[in-house]
Amino acid sequence: MRAEEEQEAEDLAIVRALQILRGRLREGPVFSRPDEVKDFLRLQAQGLAHEVFAVMFLDAQHRLIGYERLFRGTLTQTSVYPREVVKEALARNAAAVILHHNHPSGLCEPSSADYALTRDLKSALALVEVRVLDHVITSDLGALSMAERGVV
């Protein structure tokens, strides 16, 4: 009988922990200023010697649902597949996203490929009514918001 009681107590603890986690995700931070987003994203890729492409998934009030590194690349490039980005946005029921990748070289200036990728992802996500709010490029030295440049 004692083992059954312990099992029941553990099951209740697990259920309560999951409820707490769900509540925290629903009440996640709201990113309302570009500098908050840039600081958050710089921390996510600080010190990496390779490129990563990641996405901040946001709800309709721009609260963070999750941040996910979707693709890993080399020192100078990362292959990104729009289909996979759309699938993740739908799986998380995101209303909006902020795209992110890093430049290990230290320079945050977008390349022509970065502009093309932003355009392609914006088009693909628009088909499923997910807004692209920004595409931020970070390095250990700084961050650049493509929305602040009028690209997004």
In CATH terms, the superfamily for domain 31-145 is: Cytidine Deaminase, domain 2 (3.40.140.10)
Interval 12-33 mean pLDDT = 65
Average pLDDT, the chain: 89
Interval 70-75 mean pLDDT = 93
Question: Token pair of 93, please?
Answer: 């029921």
Q: Which residues pair with 39 in a beta bridge?
A: none
Q: Kindly indicate the confidence band of residue 20, based on its pLDDT and cuts at 50, 70 and 90.
A: low
- The string of pLDDT tens digits covering residues 102-150 is 999 889 999 999 999 999 999 999 999 999 999 999 998 999 999 999 9
Provide, rounded to the nearest whole percent, the portion of the chain with pLDDT above 90: 62
| 3-class state of residue 114 by DSSP | helix
- Rounded to 10°, the helix 82-91/112-126 angle is 40
Q: Where are the domains of the chain?
A: 1-28, 31-145
